Amino acid sequence: MLALSAVEPHRDSGRSPWRRIEPLAQAVEVLERAAAATPDAHGVAAETFFMPFVPIPSVEGSQSAIENESIEVASELARQGEAMHWLLEHGAVEVAEGLESAGSPATTPGTSPAHLAFVTRAAREFELPLDAVRQAAAMARRIRTGEGRWAWDKAVIDWQGNEVTLLHAGITQRIDRLVRRRDTGEWWVLDYKSVHRPDEQPALVEQMNRYRDAVRKANPGATVRVAFLTGEGRVVEVEEDASA
């Protein structure tokens, strides 16, 4: 394996891909001069070439800006929310149900290998203990089977998309789930949230309104509704501000 990085971070968070593979890295000897080319089986000598060396730029960043840099390490609660999103994107309800009760093969007889694989992957991917993965799975299951379960029912919706990316006002908007109802033709923007009462957080409400504007621009004349799907299994619709 050859790992290349375009930039060197000013500060090391300790969680970069390089830090994960560094213990497996081995030093290699770099020859100053290439050995003489040797003919191959057809008697043709391989051509030797050298990669050009790019010098380090002489322009340095502002020292004050560098000193103000901070490495944001996501809290366990934030990583648990990310794991919940990952489960909803990759796993079915059955997988989430299995994760809630899954443990190690030694402690959970009868647990399927598929469920154990999800436990291991989620714990490793998001650096979470098993209990936190189980809680993320429980929230994912409640979202899928709660008040918003209709958003996965093909008899109710005629279009669906996960992690839908839209560009609006020069800003990339990434929507957790976007569906259209068969009966009304309404578009629903659905955002998964593990936090309690997301509708009481102005920043989250503002984000939902941006999603509404982005979908409305992509579908002129259509009715667009937006709602949080919470880890408690509730659908919390964000009403449009009539004064906006």
In a domain, 55, yes or no: no
pLDDT, residue 144, reads 92
Q: Where a domain ends, among 126, 145, 164?
A: 145
pLDDT, residue 179, reads 98
In a domain, 121, yes or no: yes
pLDDT, residue 105, reads 43
Instruction: State which residues of the chain have pLDDT below 70.
Output: 1-16, 18, 30-73, 91-112, 114-115, 242-244
Q: Which residues partner with 187 through β-bridges?
A: 180, 224
With beta carbons less than 8 A apart as the criterion, state whether 184 and 191 touch: no
| In a shared domain, residues 157 and 181 | yes
d(CA 229, CA 208): 12
pLDDT, residue 241, reads 80
| In a shared domain, residues 198 and 129 | no
pLDDT, residue 46, reads 59
pLDDT, residue 68, reads 53
| In a shared domain, residues 176 and 202 | yes
In a domain, 57, yes or no: no
With beta carbons less than 8 A apart as the criterion, state whether 165 and 178 touch: no
Encode burial over 121-138: b for 16+ CB neighbours within 10 A, e otherwise: ebbeebebebebbbbbbb
Q: What is the CATH number of the domain that holds 198?
A: 3.90.320.10
pLDDT, residue 96, reads 55
With beta carbons less than 8 A apart as the criterion, state whether 189 and 225 touch: yes
d(CA 116, CA 201): 36
d(CA 100, CA 138): 6
Q: How many domains is the chain built from?
A: 2
In a domain, 182, yes or no: yes
In a domain, 96, yes or no: yes
CA distances (Å), 211 to each of 157, 196, 219, 227, 237, in order? Answer: 19, 20, 12, 10, 13
Q: Where a domain ends, among 93, 125, 145?
A: 145
pLDDT, residue 103, reads 53
240 alpha carbon, distance to own chain's centre: 28
The stretches of 74-231 forming alpha helices (DSSP H) are 76-90, 93-101, 113-126, 130-145, 202-218
Q: What is the pTM of this model?
A: 0.67
Boundaries of domain holding 101: 76-145
In a domain, 194, yes or no: yes
| In a shared domain, residues 157 and 128 | no
